[in-house]
Structure 1
Amino acid sequence: MSGASDKWSDLAQRIGSGAAMVVGGMLGVWAGGHVFHVMVALICGLMIWELVRMLNPSEPGVAVQLGALSGAATLLAIYLPLGFALPVLLAPALVGFGQLSAFRTIFMIFTVMVMLAGFGMMSVRDDMGIVWMLWLVLVVVATDVVGYFAGRFIGGPKFWPKVSPKKTWAGTGFGWIGAALVGAVFMTQTGAGPQLIGVSVAISMASQMGDIAESAIKRRVGVKDSSSLIPGHGGLLDRFDGMLGAAVFLLIIGSFVGPAPLG
């Protein structure tokens, strides 16, 4: 009995914090423009702060500096032409590479991912509109929520127990199904073709890759959560790792799927 209760011990806290994040996030998405840009830049800056604290806990001052630099660079980049935005987005990764005393390569790669993801989310909202921003968010949320409950109800073989001991193949597969259902709903409501379902599943897979990458970093440095900013969820990196993978993937394939995903 205690094993079952332990499995769900964090559920109430997760739901409360998750609801607050959803409300805040949806308000930001609805507002768009400068409000959404500032929100995304703040999240990116805090994620880099968390990353540096994990990789180099003895350098809290550097964590603050690189977090502030990354947030400012994210915000500046969205207002620049693309050719000027790209070096601004990459600059924090190189600055941090020269400042940190350990795990420099991990920092550089993951920082580029965070910066591109932030830029990608702002671009989706600015260029594709609120509908497709909501689609992206809901695909990632469905992947996480459906996977969470399926993994705990069904259990079964672990996906990668050495890195993510709670993630199961059942949760992973049902996450794809949840994403496919989101794609199907948006297909009927937007007039997009059936390939949107496949794109949604691919976005789901990319979000899971982001989750796995962040879990691997935590395992490498020996921490459970990226921080304690969000009760029941850990840090922003713990909560938005899936969105990182999804947003970067959508940014990469944007030239193939068009201004709206197969719309």
Structure 2
Amino acid sequence: MPEKAASRRSRWADLGPRLGVGAVIAIVGLFVVWIGGVIFALMMVGICSVMVWELVRMLDPKAPAVALAATAGAALAILLALPSGYGLPLLIAPIFIGISQLTQRRTVYSLFTLMILLAGFGMFFLRAQFGWPWLMWLALVVIASDVCGYFVGRFVGGPKMWPRVSPKKTWSGTIAGWIGAVIVALLFIWTTPASGQLVGISVALAMAAQLGDIAESAVKRRAGVKDSSSLLPGHGGLFDRFDGMLGASVFFLLIEPVVSFPSYALPN
């Protein structure tokens, strides 16, 4: 019995810091999404820069992580300031620079740096194209998926989905994340003119967010680290916190032209 009690305590040991830091991130992030404009663009640039810094440190500690992060951040900032057609090459340019600087794991660096910059661009595009409520929707789908998955996975447990890569991720938590996305979708259908197709889109985005989490876990396993950094108590680094948004944002960019996503812009 004492061993079971200790196991339960260790299972929830990170709950306090995780909830506190997560709440601050969510409140500040959603507030900046609502404000939009230059402040939102700067937040996107800052988050993406830090994620590239964390990525490089994991993949190749000898590579100039700060310089590569600054290059990626500058490229994204210029891209967001220019008409997209002129700035799109800047999504790719930091990858070529990084390839010349890393001595190992260049392919992983290339794929994830492209995803990070695409995610930053995708969230800015969603905010500009459809207004702040729909970027809120994307963020809430990811948050609901993460929160429901965390608590149900810890409470219910059960079979692991991919224990070698993500030992804490269970099928119960994964499915709970999909249910959380359905709840967010139903709330938006109730409060906006969105159609029922938003349910399927939201679940697909939750799945993409979970795949982003798994992909980042695979990188950490390969690099032999527990967290991408120690910037956020209870969460690790920004890469650990925003890996779900990474997957969801990139997936949204891919599906937006081909699904019946609301094409009207709500008041912003």
**TM bucket normalised to smaller:** over 0.9
Root-mean-square deviation (CA, aligned residues, Å) is 1.3
Counterpart amino acid of residue 221 in structure 1 = A
Change (3 A) 1:134 1:126: same
Distance 2:82 2:262 in 1: 22
Q: Which residue number corresponds to residue 193 of structure 2?
A: 191
TM-score by length of 2: 0.95
Counterpart amino acid of residue 27 in structure 1 = F
Distance 2:41 2:245 in 1: 16
Note if 1:48 corresponds to 2:81: no
Distance 2:203 2:96 in 1: 33
Greater displacement, 68-77 / 151-160: 68-77
Q: Which residue number corresponds to residue 22 of structure 2?
A: 18
Counterpart amino acid of residue 26 in structure 1 = L
Distance 2:95 2:237 in 1: 20
Counterpart amino acid of residue 205 in structure 1 = M
Distance 2:26 2:207 in 1: 21
Note if 1:243 corresponds to 2:259: no
Distance 1:101 1:14 in 2: 35
- Whether the 8 Å CA contact 2:141–2:180 is kept in 1: the answer is yes
Counterpart amino acid of residue 201 in structure 1 = V
Counterpart amino acid of residue 49 in structure 1 = W
Structure 2 unmatched runs, 5+: none
* Identity, % of aligned positions: 54
Q: Which residue number corresponds to residue 76 of structure 2?
A: 74
Distance 1:231 1:262 in 2: 39
- Whether the 8 Å CA contact 2:197–2:260 is kept in 1: the answer is no
Counterpart amino acid of residue 173 in structure 2 = G
Q: Deviations over 1:55-86 (max 9, x none)?
A: 11133xx1000101111111111122222221
- Whether the 8 Å CA contact 1:29–1:36 is kept in 2: the answer is yes
TM-score by length of 1: 0.97
- Whether the 8 Å CA contact 1:147–1:173 is kept in 2: the answer is yes
- Whether the 8 Å CA contact 1:193–1:262 is kept in 2: the answer is no
Distance 1:133 1:106 in 2: 28
Q: Which residue number corresponds to residue 172 of structure 2?
A: 170
Structure 1 unmatched runs, 5+: none
Distance 2:87 2:189 in 1: 32
Note if 1:252 corresponds to 2:248: no
How many Å apart are 1:262 and its aligned residue? Answer: 9.2
- Whether the 8 Å CA contact 1:142–1:178 is kept in 2: the answer is yes
Distance 1:32 1:135 in 2: 15
- Whether the 8 Å CA contact 2:152–2:172 is kept in 1: the answer is yes
What pairs with 1:27-46 in structure 2 (closer than 5 Å)? 27-46=31-50
Distance 2:227 2:194 in 1: 38
- Whether the 8 Å CA contact 2:130–2:264 is kept in 1: the answer is no
Q: Deviations over 1:157-198 (max 9, x none)?
A: 001000000000000001000001101110111111111000
